[in-house]
Structure 1
Amino acid sequence: MQQHHRRLARSASLIIVLLLGHSGAWAAVCANPGRDGQGGSDAVINSYFSGPDTQTLSSGTRTFSLTRQRGPAPLHPGDLALLLQVQGASINTANRTGYGQLQGHGLVAEWVRIDRVEGEQVWVQGGGSGGGLLHSYVNAPANREQGRRRWQLVRVPQYEHFSLQQDSRALSWDGYTGGVLAMDVRRKVALNGHRLSVAGAGFRGGPALSLQGALGRPADWRYPVPSVQDRQAGYGHHASKGEGVAGTPVLLLEVGKGYPDGDMGRGAPANAGGGGNGLDLSHQRLGNGGGGGNGSAGGHGMPVEGGGLGGHAAPRALVLGGGGGAAARRKGDGGQGGAGGGLLLIRAAGLQGQGELDLRGAAGSAAGDVGSGGGSGGTLWLDLPVTDSLAITPEHAGGAGAKGGGQGGDGQLLARGERQWPGFQPLAVAGAEAGFRCRPAGHWITGVLFEDNGVGDGQAFNQRRDGDEAPLPGLTLTLRDPASDWQKTTTSGASGAFQFRLSEAQSRSQTLRLSLMLPEGWLLPALPALNGEPGHRHGNQIRWQLTASADRHSGPLPVGLIAEPSWQAPVDTALLPGSTAVLAFEYQAPVTGQVQFHSDHPAVRGLLMDRSCSGDSEQWQSGQNAGWPVSAGERLCVRVPVRFDGQATRIPVTATTLPHNTPADFIIAPQQTSVKILPGS
C-alpha cells in the first residue's frame, strides 16, 4: 500500500512539473504524502535536528550537516521537514527606555523534502534556486552586538489519516531543538476529544537567583549576570530576563554568552520578559518579572518603577512564545519565569471533532512576596482547504504572572492565505507543498492555457505548449454543479496554469461542468479532451463534463488558443481632388502560414508589400495576391496607392490568413478594415 501511495505521490508531482516547469505560478515540490500511514497513537511524533554551533546555511544550499537529534525517528529520503530560524533577532541594547526594541529578525522558515542522508550529512530539495533553500539560516553564539542565533530542522510525519488515540505533544525547546508539533495529513485530522499540545514548550523563562545585592540601580534596563564565584557569594543585582527570539540568558546555557551587555534587569529583549529589579543596594526591596510576548505584548511586573517589562509583540512569523522574566530574589526558592507556548502546525485536508489545540504559556512562580512573569502563548499555523471551517477555538493565552508578575501575552493565530476565522492572520510558508495538495483526497482538476501558435521552435495546433509559445494568464474558468447552485471560479496564473481542488466531501461522484468563455479576439483551433471526453462549444463558451470522484485527477487539460490577426487601417485622410496618395495598413500574423490582401475599390490601383514597415515597397501586386508567407508574431505593412476623384469614400482592404497545418474545420475569418478619404482644401 505504501508503494502505491509513493507512486501516486510521484505521479502527482510529475504532473505539476511537466505542466508548468520550475517557472510555473504554482509549481510544487512534493514529498511522499501519506507515507507514514495512520497517525494518532504516539505522544511524540516529531524529531528535531540542528547543526554545528557556527554553521550558516545560505540560500540555494542543498546539503548540510546535522549534529544534534532528539525524538523518536531518524531522517530518511522522502521525508518532509520544516526548517526554521528559531532565534536570530537583533535588538536595541542601550541601557535606557528603548532597550529590547526589535531592529531586525530574520525569522524565516520553509518546508523541504529530504532527498538523501549519509551519516551527519543531509541533502534536501526546496523551492529555492537550483532546488535548494529559499532562505539563509544561521547558528552562531552571542557576541557583543547580538544574542545567540539558532535554527532547527523538524521531521514532519506525512500521515494518510490522523485520528488521536491519546494526547500528542511537542518536546520542549531546550535551547537547541524542540518546541514544535507539526504534521502533514493527506486526509483529515480527527481530535476525538484529545489534545494537541505545545503548552509551555516554547522559550524558557528566566531562572531565579538568590542575591544579596551589588551596585545595580533601580532604573537599570540591563545589568551583567554575576560570575560563578559571585553567584556562590550571592553578589549580584536584579533578576534574569527570559529567553526569546533575540537570544538566551547565559544562566540557561552550558557555555557561551547571553544577551549583549547583560542578562539581568527589567528591560524586555524582543519577545522575552524582563527580570525584576532590585530596588535598593542590599536587594531587600524587589521587583516582579515581566510576562513573555508573542501575538500581544506581555504584562509588566510590579512595581512600576522596577518591575520587569513585558516582552514585546513578536513579528508575524513561526515563532515560539517568549519566556517570562524572573523575579528578583534575596533567598529561598521560586521566582522562575514561565515558559512560553510552542509552535503547532497542521497541514491537512480537514480538522474535525472535539478536542483541544493547546498553545498556552506556563505560569510564573513566586519567591516569597514577589513573583515572575508568565510565558506567552505559542503560535498556531494552519494550512487547510479554503472550504474548511474551523469549529475549534485554540487555547493560546499567556501564563499567569505570580504575585505581582506580569501576565504572558496571547499567542499568534496564523493560516496560509486570507482566512475568515476570527483572530487569524495570513502567513505564507514556502517550499514543499502539503500532502493534501500534492495528492488530494478529493478531486483535483488542472490545466494550462497558452498560445498554440508555433512561435520559436514550437509547432502550432499540437495542443502542447512548446518553443516560445506564451502562457495566457488571467483567464477565468468556472466549475459548477448543474444539479445545484454550487459553483466556483479561478483564473489562470502567470504560467497559464489553473487548478480546482475539491475536498472529499465535495467529491461524491457527481457530474460537474468546467467552462471557459473565450476572450474577445481569441480563437480555439481544436477542442481538447478532458479525461478522454471531448469538449463542446456553446457560442463563445467551451464546456467539459467530468465526474468528481474522490482520489482522482482530471487533466491536465491543455487549452491552446491563437489570437485573431491584427489588421489596422491608417487614420482617415483628406486629399485634394485628382491627387494620389499611398496609404499604409499594418498586419500582425497570429500564426505561421500565408496572408492574402485584397481590395476591389475602384480607387485602389494595386497593393505594395512593405514587409519591414520601412516605407519602402518590396513588390507591387494588383487585385488578389498569391499569398505572402508569414511567421507567427510577424508584423508587416501593406501600402495602398489611391487616386482620389474628389468624392468622399471609404476604402476597404481585406486580409485573409491561411495557417499551415490547420486542424479540420478550422478557418480564420477574413479581416476587413477601411480608411475614409475626404476632400481637402
Structure 2
Amino acid sequence: MVSLQQHHCRLARSATLIIALLLGQSGAWAAVCANPGRDGQGGSDAVINSYFTGPATQTLSPGTRTFSLTRQRGTAPLRAGDLALLLQVQGASMNTANHADYGQLQGHGLVAEWVRIDRVEGEQVWAQGGGSGGGLLHGYVNAPASREQGRRRWQLVRVPQYEHFSLQQDSRALPWDGYTGGVLAVDVRRKVALNGHRLSVAGAGFRGGPALSLQGALGRPADWRYPAPSVQDRQAGYGHHASKGEGVAGTPVLLLEAGNGYPDGDMGRGAPANAGGGGNGLDLSHLRLGNGGGGGNGSVGGHGMPVEGGGLGGHVAPRALVLGGGGGAAARRKNDGGQGGAGGGLLLIRAAGLQGHGGLDLRGAAGSAAGDVGGGGGGGGTLWLDLPATDSLAITPDHAGGAGAKGGGQGGDGQLLARGERQWPGFQPLSVAGAEAGFRCRPAGHWITGVLFEDNGAGGGQAFNQRRDGEEASLPGLMLTLKDPVSGWKKTTTSDASGAFQFRLSEAQSRGQTLELSLSLPEGQQLPELPSLNGERGQRHGHQVRWPLQATADRHSGPLPLGLIAEPGWQAPDDTVLAPGGTAVLAFEYRAPVTGQVQFHSDHPAVRGLLMDRACSGDSEQWQSGQNAGWTVMAGERLCVRVPVRFGGQATRIPVTATTLPHNAPTGFIIAPQQTSVKILPGS
C-alpha cells in the first residue's frame, strides 16, 4: 500500500524527470516547475501562506540566485522544492509638489515573479526563476524613505502546492503589516472547490491613515501635503491636517516604528499614488475639519467632504499585483477616530478549475468616524487568476472599495486580472513570469510533448541520434494534429520558436480513449527514423506520420523527438547566352543538409568536367571527370561546382546531379539525388 506522502514524492519525481527530459531534448524550452501537488489535500486551514522579507536595505538584482530572509510570518517554514511568489509591494515614485498634481505616478517598478526554492540554510535562500542563469528576472529593492521617494518593500510569499483544495472553512491572508502579508496565493494541480466558503483578502491590503487629535498649527486649507508632527508636537497637540493612507508609493510616518514617511510630509489632502489623502483642517484652530479620501486601485477613490478641504481619493494603480490603497484619515481636534480603512489584499489562484458556490472577497475596509467627520474607505484588492483557457468563471468576485465614514470618500474598486486574454467581464490580461503553475507542469489530464529539430549533425552534433545537440536547428511553425478517429474531435498546435510542441487534455478529455497524433512532413523534409511514443512506433502514410496513444488521466506521453532531415540545397545559375563555339564556366551552388559526402555528375556532351570550388570564391579546388569521388561535407556547408562547357550552337539544357551520402544514416534511409539544370541559348 502506497502512502499519500510516497504518492506525492513519486509525482514530484515524475514531474522532475519530464522537465529534465524536455530540457535535454530542446534546450531551454521547458518551464521552471516546483513540485506540483506536494502539499496534498488543502482547505482545512484558515491561513495557508507564510510571508518573508529581507533586511531593510537589501536589493536583489536581476539574475540573483541567493539572498537573505530575516523576517517571517505564518507557520509553514520555507524549504527546498517550495513554490514562492516574489513581489515588489511598494516602490512607486510620484509627484510630491504642493499643488493639484501631487501624488500622480511617475513610475512604479511593481514587478513580481514565481520562483522555486532550491535550498535553504538559515537565513540564506537559493531560488530559481526565469531570468539569466536561472536567477531572478526582475530586480527588487528594500529601502527606507528618502527626500525623493517613499519607502520601498518587497516580500516573498510561500505558496502551497496542493493536489486538491476543498475548503472546509474560509481561508484568508494575514493582513499587510508594513513588511509582509496581504496576499493569499494558492497553486492547485486539480480544482479549487469552494464548498460555500470564501477565499478572503478583505481589508488585508495597505493600511488606512491613523487618526490624530491636533489643536492646529500653521497649515493652510489649500495644502496638498504638510509635515507630520514630531513626537513632542503630538504630545502637545501641535500640528495640522490628517494623515494620508498607505499605498504603493510609501507609508505615512505615523504607521512606522521609525524613519521617514512620504517625501515632504504625510498630512494633507493630496492623494499619494493609490492611497487616499487626509482631510485638511480649514482654519488655524483646527475647528473646521475635512474628511478622508478613499483609497484607489482599479478605479479612483472617492473624495472626502467638503470639496474645498476633503482628502482626495487615491489614484488608479498600475496594472500589476498590487494591494488596495488605504483610505485617508479625517482631521481631528480632540479624541481619536476618523481613521482610514485598509485596502483589500491580493488574491492569486492557479488551478485546473474553480468550482462550487462560495466567495472571492477582495473588499476594502470601511473608514471609521468620530463626531461629524470620518475616514475614507480602503480601495478594493486585486484578483489574479491562472486557469485553463477553456474555463468559464461562474463566481463573481467582490472587489468593491470600503465605505467612507460620515463624509469620507468611498474606496475605489479593485483590479481583476488573469493570465492571457480572457472574455470574463471586467478582467484585464497580466502575465507573471517564472515558475509555472502545477496544473500546467503536471496536468491532471493527459499531456503530450515533443520537439522538432534538424537531426543533421550541425556544429559538431551527431546526426540521426534523435537528440538535438551541437548546433542543430530547431524547426518552429510546424503543425501537429491530435484527433479522436471515432468522434471526429480534433485539436492542432504548432511547434514554437525552440521547436517544442505540447497538447494538454483535461481530466474530462482523458477517458482512456485511443487518440492519434500526426505530423504532415513539410515539403523538402524527411523523417529518417520513426521514434516510438509510449512504446508505440509511428506509422507512415504518404507524407504523414501518425502515432496512436491512450488518453489516460495523470499521464504524460513523450517527449517525442522528431529529428528531420531537409533535402539538399541545389541551385543552377541563370540561363546563359553564348555564341556558337564559345565557352563558359557555369557555377552551381550546393548546400549540405547533413554531414556526409556528396557526389556531382553530368553526362551532357558539352560538359568538359567539373571544377570544385568549396569556398565559392571562383577558384577551382580540383578537376574531376567521369564518375566522381565523394566530397566530405558538413551539415549546413555551402560549396560551389564550376562547370566548364563548350557551346555547339544549338539551344540546350545542361543538367548536373548532386548525390548526397549521409554518414551513419539509418538502414534504408536515402536522400534522393537532386538534379538541376541551366539552359544555354545561342547569341551573336
TM-score bracket, shorter-length normalisation: over 0.9
Who is 1:204 aligned against?
207
Who is 2:155 aligned against?
152
Partner amino acid for 2:617?
Answer: S
Partner amino acid for 1:64?
Answer: F
d(CA) in 2 for partners of 1:420, 1:102:
29
Q: Say whether the 8 Å CA contact 1:243–1:272 is kept in structure 2.
A: yes
Q: Say whether the 8 Å CA contact 1:25–1:493 is kept in structure 2.
A: no
Partner amino acid for 1:403?
Answer: K
Unaligned 5+ runs, structure 2: none
d(CA) in 2 for partners of 1:558, 1:209:
69
Report the alpha carbon displacement of residue 637 of structure 1 after superposing the two structures with TM: 0.9
- Identify which of 454, 469, 488 aligns with 2:472: 469
Who is 1:30 aligned against?
33
**CA offsets, 1:33-59, max 9 Å, x none?**
212111101111111112222222222
Who is 1:480 aligned against?
483
Partner amino acid for 2:678?
Answer: V
| Local SS of the residue matching 2:169 | coil
Report the alpha carbon displacement of residue 600 of structure 1 after superposing the two structures with TM: 2.1
Partner amino acid for 1:372?
Answer: G
**CA offsets, 1:231-286, max 9 Å, x none?**
22222111111000111111111111110110001111111111111122222222
Stretch moving more, 179-188 or 661-670:
661-670
**CA offsets, 1:46-76, max 9 Å, x none?**
1111222222222232332222221122222
Query: Do residues 516 (structure 1) and 515 (structure 2) align?
Result: no
Who is 1:543 aligned against?
546
Q: Say whether the 8 Å CA contact 1:24–1:497 is kept in structure 2.
A: no
Report the alpha carbon displacement of residue 456 of structure 1 after superposing the two structures with TM: 2.4
Q: Say whether the 8 Å CA contact 1:13–1:438 is kept in structure 2.
A: no
Query: Do residues 573 (structure 1) and 576 (structure 2) align?
Result: yes
d(CA) in 2 for partners of 1:56, 1:612:
53
Report the alpha carbon displacement of residue 404 of structure 1 after superposing the two structures with TM: 2.3
d(CA) in 1 for partners of 2:545, 2:272:
60
d(CA) in 1 for partners of 2:26, 2:537:
29
Q: Say whether the 8 Å CA contact 1:287–1:307 is kept in structure 2.
A: yes
Report the alpha carbon displacement of residue 22 of structure 1 after superposing the two structures with TM: 11
Who is 2:165 aligned against?
162
**CA offsets, 1:394-441, max 9 Å, x none?**
111111222222211111111122222222222222222211122221
Who is 1:378 aligned against?
381
Quick one: structure 1 residues 158 and 412, their matched pair in 2 at CA, closer, same or farther if it must change by over 3 Å?
same
Who is 1:221 aligned against?
224
d(CA) in 2 for partners of 1:678, 1:22:
52
| Local SS of the residue matching 2:511 | coil
d(CA) in 2 for partners of 1:678, 1:447:
51
Who is 1:141 aligned against?
144
Who is 1:285 aligned against?
288
d(CA) in 2 for partners of 1:150, 1:518:
53
d(CA) in 1 for partners of 2:55, 2:26:
34
Report the alpha carbon displacement of residue 298 of structure 1 after superposing the two structures with TM: 1.2
Q: Say whether the 8 Å CA contact 1:24–1:494 is kept in structure 2.
A: no
Who is 1:447 aligned against?
450
TM-score (norm 2): 0.97
Query: Do residues 64 (structure 1) and 67 (structure 2) align?
Result: yes
Report the alpha carbon displacement of residue 485 of structure 1 after superposing the two structures with TM: 4.0
Report the alpha carbon displacement of residue 25 of structure 1 after superposing the two structures with TM: 5.6
d(CA) in 2 for partners of 1:218, 1:23:
66
Partner amino acid for 2:278?
Answer: G
Who is 1:296 aligned against?
299
Quick one: structure 1 residues 485 and 303, their matched pair in 2 at CA, closer, same or farther if it must change by over 3 Å?
farther
Who is 1:498 aligned against?
501
Quick one: structure 1 residues 39 and 606, their matched pair in 2 at CA, closer, same or farther if it must change by over 3 Å?
same
Who is 1:312 aligned against?
315
**CA offsets, 1:166-188, max 9 Å, x none?**
11111111111110111111111
- Identify which of 432, 435, 445 aligns with 1:432: 435
Stretch moving more, 311-320 or 125-134:
125-134
Who is 2:348 aligned against?
345
- Give the superposed CA RMSD: 1.7
Who is 2:185 aligned against?
182
Report the alpha carbon displacement of residue 623 of structure 1 after superposing the two structures with TM: 3.6
d(CA) in 2 for partners of 1:105, 1:212:
36
| Local SS of the residue matching 1:187 | strand
- Identify which of 621, 642, 645 aligns with 1:642: 645
| Local SS of the residue matching 1:653 | strand
Stretch moving more, 400-409 or 581-590:
400-409
| Local SS of the residue matching 1:81 | strand
Partner amino acid for 2:40?
Answer: G
Who is 1:602 aligned against?
605
Partner amino acid for 1:564?
Answer: E
Query: Do residues 358 (structure 1) and 357 (structure 2) align?
Result: no
Q: Say whether the 8 Å CA contact 2:87–2:112 is kept in structure 1.
A: yes
Query: Do residues 401 (structure 1) and 394 (structure 2) align?
Result: no
Stretch moving more, 553-562 or 91-100:
91-100
Partner amino acid for 1:342?
Answer: G
d(CA) in 2 for partners of 1:663, 1:120:
55
d(CA) in 1 for partners of 2:29, 2:112:
19
Who is 1:238 aligned against?
241
- Identify which of 19, 39, 42 aligns with 1:39: 42
Quick one: structure 1 residues 629 and 119, their matched pair in 2 at CA, closer, same or farther if it must change by over 3 Å?
closer
Quick one: structure 1 residues 212 and 24, their matched pair in 2 at CA, closer, same or farther if it must change by over 3 Å?
farther
d(CA) in 1 for partners of 2:242, 2:78:
41
Who is 2:270 aligned against?
267
Who is 2:106 aligned against?
103
Partner amino acid for 1:648?
Answer: A
Who is 1:614 aligned against?
617
Q: Say whether the 8 Å CA contact 2:291–2:304 is kept in structure 1.
A: yes
Q: Say whether the 8 Å CA contact 2:26–2:451 is kept in structure 1.
A: no
Stretch moving more, 282-291 or 357-366:
282-291
- Identify which of 5, 8, 14 aligns with 1:5: 8
Q: Say whether the 8 Å CA contact 2:275–2:328 is kept in structure 1.
A: yes
- Identify which of 64, 80, 83 aligns with 2:83: 80
| Local SS of the residue matching 2:433 | coil
Q: Say whether the 8 Å CA contact 2:25–2:561 is kept in structure 1.
A: no
Quick one: structure 1 residues 24 and 275, their matched pair in 2 at CA, closer, same or farther if it must change by over 3 Å?
farther
- Identify which of 676, 679, 684 aligns with 1:676: 679
Q: Say whether the 8 Å CA contact 1:31–1:113 is kept in structure 2.
A: yes
TM-score (norm 1): 0.97
Q: Say whether the 8 Å CA contact 1:268–1:312 is kept in structure 2.
A: yes
| Local SS of the residue matching 1:629 | strand
Query: What percent of counterpart residues are identical?
Result: 89
d(CA) in 1 for partners of 2:345, 2:486:
47
d(CA) in 2 for partners of 1:77, 1:597:
60
Q: Say whether the 8 Å CA contact 2:228–2:239 is kept in structure 1.
A: yes
Partner amino acid for 1:539?
Answer: G
Report the alpha carbon displacement of residue 148 of structure 1 after superposing the two structures with TM: 0.9
d(CA) in 2 for partners of 1:284, 1:26:
66
Unaligned 5+ runs, structure 1: none
Report the alpha carbon displacement of residue 195 of structure 1 after superposing the two structures with TM: 0.3
Q: Say whether the 8 Å CA contact 1:9–1:438 is kept in structure 2.
A: no
| Local SS of the residue matching 2:459 | coil
